[in-house]
Structure 1
C-alpha cells in the first residue's frame, strides 16, 4: 500500500502530522501556561526530526520525509518565514524609541550587549572542541554568531506572550517593545556583518545602494496607494528584496527584514496586521517549525549537545538579566522592574531559530551547534510566562507605570 503512494499523498500525510500532533499535545495536555502552541510546534518538529523519530523508526521517517516531500515543505517554510520576518520589520516602532531615546538606548544596549558578551565567552569555550564550528566560518564569525544568538529577543513571540500576560498595550509593555525593536535592528545588522562575503562584496554593496535608492520611491508609492493595494504591493516588494539580498550573498531573510523595516505600520490597519501575523503563525509557520526540526541531529555530539544547550541558556538568561539590572540601577527603576523586563526580553523562539537557520545555511555553525541553540531557544521561551506571571502579580503597579 505504502509503495503505491505518490509524492502528493505522502506530502499530505506529512502536512496532517504537522498540524495534528502539536495541536493535540497543546490542547489535550493543556500546556498553554508554560508552552504556548508555537513552542509545542517547535518541540514537535524536533521530535519528528532525524535525531528522535529518524533514529527510532528510520523506515517510517525516510518514507514520510523523503527528499521530494522535504523539498516541497522547504518551499512553504521559506515563504512563511519571509512573511513573518517582514511583519516583524513592519512592527518596529522607531519613532517611540526616538521620543524616549536616552532610556531606550541605554536599556537596549545593555540588554543586548551583556548577553552577547556572555554568549561570546561560551562560544570561545566551544571553539576548544571539534564539531561545533561550521566549515564555512572563521573563528570570529562563529563566536559572534553564537554570542548574538544568546542576545536575540524574539519580537513577534514577545508580542504574543505580552498579549497573554495582558500587558502589551500597557506602559511597561510599550517600553519593552521599544527596547526589543532597537535590539532587532542590531541583530540583523550583526548578521549582515557575519555574512559579509568578501568575494561578493561588490554585489552586496550594489544591493545596499540600489535598495537605498529604491526605498524612497517605494515609500512614495505606498503612501499614494489605497490600503487594499498596499497589502499586495508589499508582498511583491518582499519577494524582490529577498531575491536581491540572496543574490548578493546576504541571505533572503535579511532582505525580508529590510523589506518590512522600511514600511510604516500606520499604512495598515493594526487589527488586520495582527490578524495576518496570527494567521501566518497558524496556517504556514508550523511547516517552518517542522522543517527546522528535520535539521536537528545530535547523533554526532550526543550528550554534549544538551550540555552545550544548558551552558548557552545560562549565558543567555544571566546576560539578559544582568544587562537589565545594570540599566535599572542607572535609570532608577523600581524594585522588581528590571527582573520582569529582563525575563521578557530573554524570550528567544522564532527570531533566534530563524537566525541560527541562516548560520547553518551559510556553514557558520554545525548541525550539533544548531541543535544546541534550538534547545536553548525552546527552554528560554518556556521559562518566560511561568517566571514573569507571578512577578507581575506581586508588583502589579509596574504595569501601569508610565515611562
Structure 2
C-alpha cells in the first residue's frame, strides 16, 4: 500500500473506534466522547496495542503517516486554543473581581502547591524530569498541570448538564477564565529562553503594538470578514511565538485572548468549537496517545498518575472550600463548584504536550499526567450530577 492508503486506514481507525466505544457502551455519563478519544489514543499508542502488536503499529503509524497526522494535529490544537482564548470572559470577571479573584486564586493556588510537592517527591526517582529542564521548571510545570481547569471542556460539560447559561454556570466560567490567563502566563515563564530573550521581548512588544491595530481593524470589519482575518492573525501569532522560542500554542492563545467573543455570532462560535472537536481534534488525541511511554515501568507510571490525581483533586477542593468560607457560600456550594473545576482533559494535555516538546518532562511523566487528566475529567459528571439534583436553588446564584 502507498502512504495515502495507509494514512486513510489510520484516519478510519481514529474516527471509528472511539465513536463505537462511546456509542455501544454508552459512556457519556462518566466519559464524554472527547475523553473516550483520548483514552483510545493511549490504547492505540506504542505503550499498549503497539507493544502487543508491533507489526500493526509499524505498518499503520509509520513515520510518513505520523508526519501527516502531526501537521493536522498542530492546526487542530491551534484552532482549539484560539477559540478558548476568544471565550475568555475577563470583563465579567472584572465586574465581580473580589469574588472571582478569591475563588480563582485559591482554586489555582492550592492544587498548584500540592502539585509542586508531588513533583518534588517524583524527583526522588530518575526518569521523570526532562533532559533540558531546570528543577524549578519541572516542579512548576507539573504543579501547574495539577492546577489546570480546561475551559473548553468545562463549557461542553456544563452544556450537557444544562447549567452553562444559568447564573451558576457563568460564575464557574469566570473562575476558569481567570485561571486560564494565569496558566498561560506561567507557561510563558517556564518557556522563557534566556538565550533568545531578545526575540521573546521583541515578539511581546510587536504583539502589543500590532494587537491594538488588529482590534481597531476587527471592529470595523463585517462579521463575515472577521473569521478570515482572525485566522490570518492566528497563524501570524503562532509563528511569531514559536520563532521567539515560546511555543506556537502560546501564540494561538494570545491571538484569541485579545479578540472579543461578541464580535462573532455566539451560535457560529459554538458551532466552530463543536466542528473542530468533531472533524480534526480526534487526530490530535491520537497523536497525543502515540507519545505515551511506560519506560520507567507501567506500575510506576500508574502510581505517579494516582499521586498527581490526589494532589490535583484534593488541592482544588480544599482551595474552593476555603474560598467558600471567605465568601460565605451556602452548604454544598463549594463542593459543586470544586468538582466542576476538576475538568482538565484538553488544556492540561496541551500544556503537557508543550512541556514534552521542550524536554522539560519525559514521556513517562507525560503519560502519568495524561492519565491524571483523563481520570480527573471522568470524575466530574458522576460527582456533579447528584449534587445538582440536591442543590437546584444554587443554579440561580450569580455571586
C-alpha displacement at 1:302, in angstroms? 2.2
User: 2:47 aligned with 1:45, yes or no?
Assistant: no
User: 2:146 aligned with 1:157, yes or no?
Assistant: no
User: 2:57 aligned with 1:61, yes or no?
Assistant: yes
Q: Which residue of the partner structure matches residue 222 of structure 1?
A: 218
Aligned to 2:256, which of 247, 256, 260? 260
TM-score using structure 1 length: 0.99
Q: Which residue of the partner structure matches residue 71 of structure 2?
A: 75
* Count of paired positions: 399
CA contact under 8 A between 1:131 and 1:301: conserved in structure 2?
no
TM-score using structure 2 length: 1.00
User: 2:27 aligned with 1:31, yes or no?
Assistant: yes
The whole-number CA distance in structure 2 between the counterparts of 1:400 and 1:213 is 41
The whole-number CA distance in structure 2 between the counterparts of 1:230 and 1:53 is 44
Give matches, 1:243-254, under 5 Å.
243-254=239-250
Q: Which residue of the partner structure matches residue 395 of structure 2?
A: 399
Q: Which residue of the partner structure matches residue 370 of structure 2?
A: 374
Q: Which residue of the partner structure matches residue 297 of structure 1?
A: 293
User: 2:24 aligned with 1:16, yes or no?
Assistant: no
Give matches, 1:3-402, under 5 Å.
5-402=1-398
Structure 1 runs of 4+ with >4 Å offset: none
C-alpha displacement at 1:174, in angstroms? 0.3
The whole-number CA distance in structure 1 between the counterparts of 2:298 and 2:395 is 44
The whole-number CA distance in structure 1 between the counterparts of 2:220 and 2:343 is 38
C-alpha displacement at 1:301, in angstroms? 2.9
The whole-number CA distance in structure 1 between the counterparts of 2:377 and 2:99 is 25
- Gap runs ≥5 in structure 1: none
SS class of match (1:32): helix
The whole-number CA distance in structure 2 between the counterparts of 1:133 and 1:344 is 30
- Gap runs ≥5 in structure 2: none
CA contact under 8 A between 1:112 and 1:320: conserved in structure 2?
yes
C-alpha displacement at 1:300, in angstroms? 3.0
